[in-house]
């Protein structure tokens, strides 16, 4: 923990780290909004995007849009069901000193935490980062968020993290329409209002949801670090 200096001078800026995986950029979009709110409250914000480089599973995620959307989407389903991990790379920010809050950006892959984030949370890097540190979870998903959040919390808690709060964001539409809308987007790189002859709901994160992320982060910063702004540092 670095925010309090124990003296009479100004407190050091709280250090916040965002650790996340984002294939289409939707998780990153949410976290960008949250990061803006933390900075406005005088926090020093760092980001650590996880690179998914596993030789067996990562190839479909090296390009966007996907080349063969349904086979590519289903390629990680068995591994997801088994809770497997894979090879990842992380930036130096993960290893660069202590943080006062770690924010975990977690897209849902087939009803649970994605392989890249699971791989990080079970790695040797996770415990030194999380041990004794408050953490918050940002779940970004099509529909299913609960098992994702539960899995992230279980893994983070095993590393000594102290749960602070969570928020989840979903896409519009029922189970099948939202799946088709996402598949259409992953396969084309753009939103289309019809796919396989069916009317589709919108997909991806909306501007309103980015606003919700900002509000959530602002309240979390005020609760953890006290009300402050960038001019008070």
pLDDT for res 102: 98
- pLDDT band for position 35 (cuts 50, 70, 90): very high
CA separation for the pair 152, 145 (Å, rounded): 11
> pLDDT tens, 148-198?
999 999 999 999 999 999 999 999 888 888 899 999 999 999 988 888 888
- Report pLDDT for 197: 83
With tokens 């990562």, the residue in question is: 58
For residues 177 and 202, what is the distance between their CA atoms, to the nearest angstrom? 10
> Residue 115: what are its φ and ψ, rounded to 5°?
-55, -45
> What DSSP letter does each residue of 79-137 carry, written as one string?
HHHHT----EE--GGGGSS--SEEEEEEEEETTEE-HHHHHHHTSTTHHHHHTT-EEEE
DSSP state of 47: E
- Residue 218 scores a pLDDT above 50: yes
Please, which residues have CB within 8 angstroms of residue 189's CB and are 6 or more apart in sequence? 64, 65
Peptide bond into 204 cis (omega under 30): no
Q: What is the pTM assigned to this prediction?
A: 0.91
- Averaged pLDDT, 96-103: 94
Confidence of residue 48 (pLDDT cuts 50, 70, 90): very high
The percentage of the chain sitting over the pLDDT mark of 90, rounded to a whole number, equals: 80
Q: Which residues pair with 17 in a beta bridge?
A: 46, 102
**CA–CA distances in Å: residue 18 to residues 35, 86, 137:** 8, 20, 10
CATH number listed for the domain at residues 15-171+206-223: 3.40.50.360
Give one word for 132, left, alpha or beta, with left for phi > 0 and alpha for psi -120 to 50.
left
């Amino acid at each position: 923990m670095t925010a309090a200096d124990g003296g009479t001078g100004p407190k050091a800026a709280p250090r916040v780290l965002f650790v996340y995986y984002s294939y289409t950029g939707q998780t990153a979009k949410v976290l960008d909004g949250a990061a803006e709110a933390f900075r406005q409250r005088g926090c020093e914000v760092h980001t650590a995007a996880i690179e998914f480089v596993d030789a067996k599973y990562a190839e479909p995620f090296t390009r966007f849009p996907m080349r063969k959307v349904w086979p590519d989407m289903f390629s990680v389903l068995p591994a997801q069901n088994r809770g497997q991990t894979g090879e990842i790379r992380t930036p130096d920010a993960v290893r660069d000193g202590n943080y006062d809050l770690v924010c975990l950006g977690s897209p849902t892959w087939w009803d649970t935490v994605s392989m890249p984030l699971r791989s990080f949370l079970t790695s040797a890097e996770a415990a030194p980062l999380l041990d004794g540190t408050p953490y918050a979870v940002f779940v970004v998903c099509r529909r299913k968020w609960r098992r994702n959040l539960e899995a992230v919390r279980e893994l983070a808690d095993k590393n000594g993290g102290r749960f602070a709060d969570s928020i989840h964001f979903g896409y519009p539409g029922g189970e099948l329409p939202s799946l088709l809308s996402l598949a259409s987007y992953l396969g084309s790189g753009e939103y289309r209002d019809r796919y396989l002859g069916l009317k589709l709901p919108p997909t991806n994160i909306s501007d309103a949801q980015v606003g919700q992320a900002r509000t959530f982060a602002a309240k979390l910063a005020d609760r953890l670090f006290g009300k402050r702004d960038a001019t008070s540092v």
